[in-house]
Structure 1
Amino acid sequence: MDLLSIVVPCFNEEESIESFYGEVQTELENVNFEVIFINDGSEDNTLEIIKGLAQKHGNVKYISFSRNFGKESSIYAGLVNAKGDLVCVMDADLQHPPSLLPEMIEAITKENYDAAGARRVSRKGEPKIKSFFSKKYYSLFNRISKIEIVNGGTDYRMMTRPVVDSILQLTEYNRFSKGLFQWVGFETKWIDYENVERAAGETTWSFLGLIRYSTEGIVAFSTMPLTVSIVLGTIISIIAFIYMIFIILKYLLYSDPVQGFATIMCAILLLGGIQLLSIGTLGKYLEKTYFETKNRPIYIVKESNIDGD
């Protein structure tokens, strides 16, 4: 290994960047490495602190976006500009322990794995409801998708150059890195670790934000929701047809007038809700197609100290 590139997406991480770099430097004392910080439209002094580190350390690179494009765009920008034989993606808040870096390097260079990923075996410190929904999401995703995401698997992973090049071939605008990492294949070693709380600051991920991110993953790697809409519509149509025949026969045979205003209203509201849900599901897939056809850039660079940017 001639060079290890570490890609670090940053959004309002001014309190942790220096500590992060210090710990990485300690763990990689005998390794030739570069750190590529991606400033994703931070609103604090994140960029200034990164620039200060770049002036002191020649192996610190940075890319600053023109606005906030999201973590997925930051990861992609880092992979595009990483020059190392090995490339690692990790967060700046130290929830991805730098102490795992030597073990990741060993897994690839000595055990011949193509990638090494970090997997949380506990969610200590997280709200229980968040942990519950996270586990259920992984279970649901793996049931309806042709690829499998490891429960507890994180974006923190180290990859060989062939793996990175394969990911860069996937130039889609709507990106879900956890799925893309698995989609390209290759042999991955998972390294377990206990959950670590943020070194400083507060998370920028809200519960609703995580739900949106989870929905993106399902839409990106499964068409099962569309199939469910078709199946559900077919079942309800069959039931409605059978019930219609029942009502007609009941009236013809027994002259029983049709009654039940409450039943009719419930049926209308139920069917209306299912129709709106199905239309919304279809619309979500059309939305992805709409943005892909625009062919907009995944990110826009405002400034950088990397040659070519």
Structure 2
Amino acid sequence: MTLRSLSVVIPCHNEEGAIAALIAETFAALSDLKLQIIVVDDGSEDNTAARVSELIETEPRLRLIRHALCSGQSAAIRSGVQAARHDWVATLDGDGQNPPDQIRALIARLASASAARVGLVQGQRLKRKDVASRQLASRLANALRNAVLHDGVTDSGCGLKLFRREAWLAMPFFDHIHRFTPALIRREGWEVLVCPVTHRARQAGRSNYSNLQRALVGAIDLLGVAWLIRRSGKPKAAPIQIESEAAFTLPSGALPDPVSHHQ
């Protein structure tokens, strides 16, 4: 499959120190594509929106959506996906820990597969640059999620994702849905691919979530997602296809081809 156009959605909350560099890096990494970048400022209390607005003055491919109040990462992603102009959407965390050039790895993974029924390419972080306590909490959460949902994904919380806009919008929406995207994309009958991606230290600011917050909301949401999948009444999707770390190489060179809105 040749992907020639893409919308990139970047949810942000208090990321004024990282967002300008992340936007510039994303444009540079995907310069050969017909590209749209949508930054969703989720109720930031700093100058995140101002930094983006400055860039919009000279960059027509950039769009800013502002949430008056902090509504959460899933709501921010939803606003961005709804505003996306292209059929395929990629997401990046606004803190800069997801290198934008890794979107090319996701695109290459899609191109290597029989993509007619692929709804999602899920990034899987290699050598995570988080503190040890956060990595341990993430491993435990992923193990529990996999035991209940059997989604075959070991890092569903990775912000690097590439998906069909229609597949994402077909999912039943709720807060924190971004942590269960692979399982719910499969619930809609689409196939899911997994692709190793690199990871780096936070570029600026601090994390917006504690390990305890993740654990508390995750336990409740997991039961809800398990119920949604059980009650879907839809045929099971094909097994998830995972690309091994040994086979992973970052592609180089060009690939074939209430809210307020700011254009």
User: Shorter-chain-normalised TM-score: which range?
Assistant: 0.7 to 0.9
Where does residue 102 of structure 2 map in the other structure? 100
- 1:222 aligns to what SS in structure 2? helix
Match of 2:74 among 72, 95, 100: 72
Match of 1:219 in 2: 223
Which one scores higher on RCO, CA 8 angstroms, separation ≥ 6? 2
CA shift, 1:149, in A, is 5.4
Distance 1:222 1:117, change over 3 A: closer
Residue ranges of structure 2 left out of the alignment (5+ in a row)? 228-257
Question: Is the partner of 1:75 in helix, strand or coil?
Answer: helix
Looking at structure 1, the residues matched to 182 and 83 of structure 2 have their Cα atoms a distance apart, in angstroms, of 18
CA contact (8 A) 1:7 1:36 kept: yes
Greater helix share, 1 or 2? 1
Preserved contact between residue 38 and residue 62 of structure 2 (Cα < 8 Å): yes
Give the stretch that moved more between structures: 131-140 or 64-73.
131-140
Cα distance, 1:36 vs structure 2: 0.4
% identical equivalent positions: 21
Gaps of 5+ in 1: 224-299
Equivalent residue number for residue 169 of structure 2: 168
User: 1:181 aligns to what?
Assistant: 182
Mapped to 1, the partners of 2:19 and 2:175 lie a distance apart of 28
Q: CA deviation at 1:112?
A: 3.7
Secondary structure of the corresponding residue to residue 119 of structure 1: strand
For normalisation by structure 2, the TM-score amounts to 0.78
1:129 aligns with 2:148: no
Cα shift at 1:12: 0.4
**Bigger Rg over Cα:** 1
Query: 1:119 corresponds to which residue?
Result: 124
Distance 1:48 1:26, change over 3 A: same
| Distance in 1 (alpha carbons) for counterparts of 2:45 and 2:175 | 24
CA separation of 1:170 and 1:116: change in aligned 2, threshold 3 A: closer
Write the deviation string for residues 122-147 of structure 1: whole angstroms up to 9, x where unpaired: 33441x233223212222222223x4
CA distance in 1, matches of 2:20, 2:14: 13
SS at match of 1:12: coil
CA–CA separation in structure 2 for the residues paired with 1:76 and 1:86? 14
- What's the RMSD between the two structures over aligned residues? 2.0
Equivalent residue number for residue 250 of structure 2: none
1:144/1:181 CA distance change after superposition, 3 Å: closer
Q: Which has the higher strand share?
A: 2
1:205 and 2:209 correspond: yes
Equivalent residue of 2:208, what SS? Answer: coil
- For the Cα contact (< 8 Å) 2:153–2:182, is it kept in 1? no
C-alpha distance in 1, partners of 2:121/2:100?
13
Closer, same or farther in 2 for the Cα pair 1:155/1:54, shift >3 Å?
same
Question: Judging changes above 3 Å, is the alpha-carbon distance between structure 1 residues 149 and 66 closer, same or farther for their aligned structure 2 residues?
Answer: farther
